[in-house]
C-alpha cells in the first residue's frame, strides 16, 4: 500500500479513462446499527461486485454518502482496509442528509463516492508508540487506524486509547469496547464527562484525563479527533506533555462538496481539505491561516 503524505499537494481530480468521480456508486446497506441516540452505523457493500472487489483505500480516507432527494455528505470509512467484507460508516445526526440517512434500513440502497482525501501517515508511525485520543463521533476515524494497527500489531509499539463521551449512552462502538478493554496489547481508557450510576471507568473531561495518563512523548505519535472544543484543549494538553507539533496528527471536519479539489468549498488558505487533508499534523495546521 502506498502512503500519501499528509502534506501532499492537490492531485488532478480526473484521470482520463477512470470512473467519473462525481458519480455515486449504488451500495446496499447490509446492517444498520443504532450506536447512541444520535449516531447510527451503516455497513454497506457496493452493488457492483467488481467495484467492491477493487475498492481500495487507506486509513483516514473518507466517502461521500448520498440519498436521493436528501443530499450528500462526508463520512470517514471507519472499517479498516484490512477487513473488506463491507465498508462501515458511522453517521451522527446533524442536519438534512444525516437525518434522512438515519431512516435507512438493512436492504436499502444509498450512494457512495470515494475513497477521497489523504490518509493517516501510518507508514511513518511504524515502530512508534501511538496515543489515540477520541471524543464522541471523533472516534470514527480513530477506529479505522486503531483496527488497522491491531491487524498489523507487530509494526507498532505500545498503543493507548483514550475515548470519551458525554455519558455512557453517548459512547459509540459500545459492542467493541469490552474487547478493547480486555486486550493485553491495547491500553484502553474510557471516560465520561459527569458521574453516572454503574459507570466503572473514568469520569472527567478528555484533556484532564489525558494529563493524568501522562503519556511519554518519546518516540510517540498522538492521533486525535473530536469536537472542536475538545480538540482545542487536547492539543494544549499534548503540548503541555511536551509533544512536538510534528508528533500530533488530527483530522479536520471542514465542510466539503465535490470532495475532489474542484469546487473550492473546503479550502484553508492554499490547502484543500478534501485533497490535501483531512489528515494534518499540528505542525502543518500551524502553518495554515486560522480559518477553521
Instruction: Give residues in contact with ligand FES (CB under 6 A).
Output: 256-259, 261-266, 272, 274
CA 145 to CA 121: how far, in whole Å? 10
Closer of 5 and 208 to ligand FAD (Cβ):
5
* Side-chain-side CA neighbours of residue 171 (13 Å): 19
Residue nearest to ligand FAD (CB): 95
By beta-carbon proximity to ligand FES, the closer residue of 115 and 261 is: 261
Task: Report, in Å, the least distance between residue 256 CB and ligand FES.
Answer: 4
Closer of 19 and 240 to ligand FES (Cβ): 19
Closest contact distance (angstroms) between CB of 217 and ligand FAD is: 27
C-alpha span between 232 and 80 (Å, rounded): 27
Burial of 271 (0-12, 13-18, 19+ CB in 10 A): buried
CB of 44 to ligand FES, least distance (A): 22
Q: Which is nearer to ligand FES, 10 or 208 (CB)?
A: 10
**Minimum CB distance to ligand FES smaller for 79 or for 118:** 118
Phi and psi (nearest 5°) for 143?
Answer: -60, -45
Q: How far is the CB of 262 from ligand FES (least distance, A)?
A: 6
Beta strands 248-251 and 279-281, pairing class = antiparallel
Q: Which is nearer to ligand FAD, 21 or 71 (CB)?
A: 71
Q: How far is the CB of 199 from ligand FES (least distance, A)?
A: 40
CB-CB contact of 190 with 181 (8 Å): yes
Buried b (16+ CB within 10 A) or exposed e, 213-252: bebebeebbbbbbbeeebbebbbebbeebebeeebbbbbb
**What character string, x for contact with ligand FAD (CB under 6 A) and - otherwise, covers 87-106?**
---xxx-xxxxx--------
Q: Going by C-beta distance under 8 Å and a sequence separation of 6 or more, which residues neighbour residue 137?
A: 39, 90, 92, 172
Among ligand FAD, ligand FES, none, partner that 250 touches (CB below 5 to 8 angstroms by kind): none
- Report what 262 binds from ligand FES, ligand FAD, none; CB cut-off 5-8 Å by kind: ligand FES
Binding positions for ligand FAD, 230-289, rule CB under 6 A:
253-256, 278
| Residue 96 touches which member of ligand FES, ligand FAD, none, C-beta under 5-8 Å by kind | ligand FAD
CA atoms within 13 A on the CB side of 108: 18
H or E element at residue 141: helix 139-151
Which burial class, exposed, middle or buried, applies to 184 when counting CB atoms under 10 A from its CB (0-12, 13-18, 19+)? exposed
Chain residues binding ligand FAD by CB under 6 A are 62, 71, 73-76, 90-92, 94-98, 137, 140, 253-256, 278
Amino acid at each position: 500500500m502506498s502512503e500519501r503524505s499528509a502534506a501532499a499537494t492537490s492531485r488532478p481530480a480526473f484521470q482520463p479513462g477512470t470512473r467519473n468521480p462525481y458519480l455515486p456508486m449504488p451500495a446496499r446497506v447490509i446492517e444498520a446499527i443504532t450506536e447512541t441516540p444520535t449516531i447510527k452505523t451503516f455497513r454497506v457493500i457496493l452493488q457492483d461486485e467488481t467495484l467492491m472487489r477493487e475498492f481500495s483505500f487507506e486509513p483516514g480516507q473518507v466517502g461521500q454518502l448520498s440519498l436521493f432527494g436528501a443530499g450528500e455528505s462526508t463520512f470517514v470509512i471507519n472499517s479498516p482496509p484490512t477487513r473488506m467484507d463491507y465498508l462501515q460508516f458511522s453517521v451522527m445526526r446533524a442536519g438534512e442528509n444525516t437525518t434522512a440517512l438515519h431512516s435507512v434500513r438493512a436492504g436499502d440502497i444509498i450512494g457512495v463516492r470515494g475513497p477521497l482525501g489523504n490518509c493517516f501517515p501510518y507508514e511513518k508511525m511504524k515502530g512508534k508508540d501511538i496515543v489515540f485520543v477520541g471524543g464522541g463521533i471523533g472516534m470514527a476515524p480513530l477506529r479505522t487506524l486503531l483496527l488497522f494497527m491491531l491487524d498489523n500489531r507487530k509494526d507498532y509499539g505500545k498503543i493507548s486509547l483514550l475515548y470519551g463521551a458525554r455519558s455512557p449512552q453517548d459512547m459509540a462502538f459500545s459492542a467493541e469496547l469490552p474487547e478493547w478493554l480486555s486486550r493485553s496489547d491495547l491500553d484502553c481508557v474510557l471516560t465520561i464527562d459527569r458521574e453516572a450510576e454503574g459507570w466503572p471507568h473514568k469520569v472527567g473531561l478528555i484533556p484532564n484525563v489525558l494529563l493524568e495518563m501522562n503519556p511519554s512523548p518519546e518516540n510517540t505519535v498522538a492521533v486525535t479527533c473530536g469536537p472542536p472544543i475538545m480538540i482545542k484543549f487536547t492539543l494544549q494538553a499534548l503540548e503541555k506533555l511536551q509533544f512536538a507539533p510534528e508528533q500530533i496528527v488530527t483530522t479536520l471536519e471542514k465542510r466539503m462538496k465535490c470532495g475532489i479539489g474542484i469546487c473550492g468549498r473546503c479550502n484553508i488558505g492554499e490547502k484543500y481539505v478534501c485533497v490535501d487533508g483531512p489528515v494534518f499534523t499540528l505542525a502543518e495546521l500551524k502553518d495554515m491561516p486560522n480559518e477553521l
